[in-house]
């Protein structure tokens, strides 16, 4: 019996040693594989909600607070975390009738009095749902949808710059995430783009677009999860899918080809984001989501360490990192 007990002890100690060695190899291997990224990157903060069912998606900055949106892997309401001065406050989202708001919450942004959350129904028309910022920040842990903006593309991410709402779609070949053929465009340089990002002017009083039709349309590549604009006016797209490496694509609009896109019989100005205007790209760890540009750096949200996926807990996924991009 003593020999069997000793065998079990050695066996379990061996398993623990193996597991620790595997974790160490994965952690070190990530740093080697993404060596360029980590040579540029710095930790900004720990991502909130990772030990709950929260799956981080959208990312925004409102004054001195960061907001992270996401869905819950169970049937709990989608939510946002408000981050300020090292404290995180979870705010669950609800519909006007009091029912749980069950959006993928792939994008979050703000303008004036409102917070916007991307709501993709899987149908042709999707929405930017509106919540009062005062309701988000009042400290009671919940906020109620007050209005919606219908949009004619499968919105997955959204950002506001000035009074312009940028609302873009995610496309993945062979998946459920597809876009209409009219949104899949061959660019003048020969690239095959697969989705659109539409730009609308917002009314300062209502927070809604001043027109149903977009002012401008960008043609984008596949797998786009978020965007930001740098201080020099370059557009950065965050692309990712599953456990494959993510990539940031940085475009110089002064080199971009232009055209027109047909919207219900009207011609809308179109800009192609493709290889012709690609300034640089940066390979990143898996599952990057939305971006925030601040002080010359792009801060990257990531979902890999949530309890839906787990693997990010032993790599870099617990933290939001930033890299310098002017």
Q: What local confidence, expressed as pLDDT, does residue 123 receive?
A: 67
The phi and psi torsions of 32 (rounded to 5 degrees) equal -75, -50
- Six-digit token string for 61: 């900055």
The pTM assigned to this predicted structure is 0.91
Q: pLDDT tens across 246-280, in order?
A: 999 999 999 999 999 999 999 999 999 999 999 99
Distance between CA atoms of residues 146 and 148, nearest Å = 7
Q: What local confidence, expressed as pLDDT, does residue 7 receive?
A: 47
Q: pLDDT tens across 148-200, in order?
A: 999 998 899 999 999 999 999 999 998 888 999 999 999 999 999 999 999 99
Closest of 205, 218, 120, 117 to residue 163, by C-alpha: 205
Residue 142, classified by CB atoms within 10 Å of its CB into exposed (0-12), middle (13-18) or buried (19+), is middle
Distance between CA atoms of residues 51 and 44, nearest Å = 19
Q: What local confidence, expressed as pLDDT, does residue 31 receive?
A: 86
CA 192 from chain center: how many Å?
Answer: 22
Q: Is the pLDDT of residue 19 over 50?
A: no
Residue 324, classified by CB atoms within 10 Å of its CB into exposed (0-12), middle (13-18) or buried (19+), is exposed
Buried b (16+ CB within 10 A) or exposed e, 223-253: bbbbbbbbeeebbbbbbbbeeebbbbbbbeb
- Which strands make up the sheet holding 108-111, listed edge to edge? 54-62, 65-72, 79-84, 87-94, 142-151, 126-132, 114-119, 108-111
Closest of 290, 238, 298, 246 to residue 30, by C-alpha: 246
Residue 20, classified by CB atoms within 10 Å of its CB into exposed (0-12), middle (13-18) or buried (19+), is exposed
Q: Is the pLDDT of residue 325 over 80?
A: yes
Q: pLDDT tens across 80-115, in order?
A: 999 999 999 999 999 999 999 999 999 999 999 999
Mean pLDDT, rounded, of the chain: 91
């Amino acid at each position: 019996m003593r020999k069997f007990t000793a065998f079990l002890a050695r066996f379990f100690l061996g398993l623990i040693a193996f597991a620790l060695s595997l974790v160490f190899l994965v952690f070190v291997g990530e740093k080697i594989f993404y060596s360029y990224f980590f040579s540029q990157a710095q930790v900004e903060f720990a991502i909130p909600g990772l030990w709950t069912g929260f799956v981080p998606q959208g990312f925004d900055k409102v004054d001195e607070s960061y907001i992270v949106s996401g869905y819950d892997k169970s049937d709990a309401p989608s939510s946002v975390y408000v981050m300020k001065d090292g404290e995180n406050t979870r705010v669950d989202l609800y519909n006007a009738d009091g029912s749980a708001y069950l959006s993928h919450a792939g994008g979050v942004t703000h303008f004036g009095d409102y917070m916007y959350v991307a709501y993709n129904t899987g149908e042709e028309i999707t929405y930017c749902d509106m919540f009062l910022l005062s309701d988000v920040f009042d400290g009671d842990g919940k906020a109620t949808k007050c209005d919606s903006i219908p949009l004619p593309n499968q919105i997955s991410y959204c950002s506001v710059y000035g009074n312009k709402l940028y609302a873009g779609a995610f496309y993945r070949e062979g998946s459920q995430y597809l876009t209409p053929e009219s949104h899949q465009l061959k660019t003048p340089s020969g690239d095959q783009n697969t989705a659109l990002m539409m730009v609308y002017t917002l009314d300062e009083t209502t927070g809604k677009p001043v027109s149903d039709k977009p002012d401008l349309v960008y043609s984008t590549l596949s797998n786009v999860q978020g965007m930001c604009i740098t201080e020099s006016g370059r557009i950065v797209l965050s692309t990712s899918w599953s456990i494959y490496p993510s990539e940031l694509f940085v475009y110089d609009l002064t080199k971009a080809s232009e055209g027109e896109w047909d919207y219900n019989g009207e011609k809308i100005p179109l800009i192609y984001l493709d290889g012709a205007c690609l300034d640089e790209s940066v390979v990143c760890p898996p599952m990057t989501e939305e971006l925030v540009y601040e002080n010359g750096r792009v801060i990257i949200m990531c979902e890999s360490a949530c309890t839906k996926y787990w693997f990010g807990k032993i790599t870099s996924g617990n933290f939001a990192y930033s890299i310098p991009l002017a």
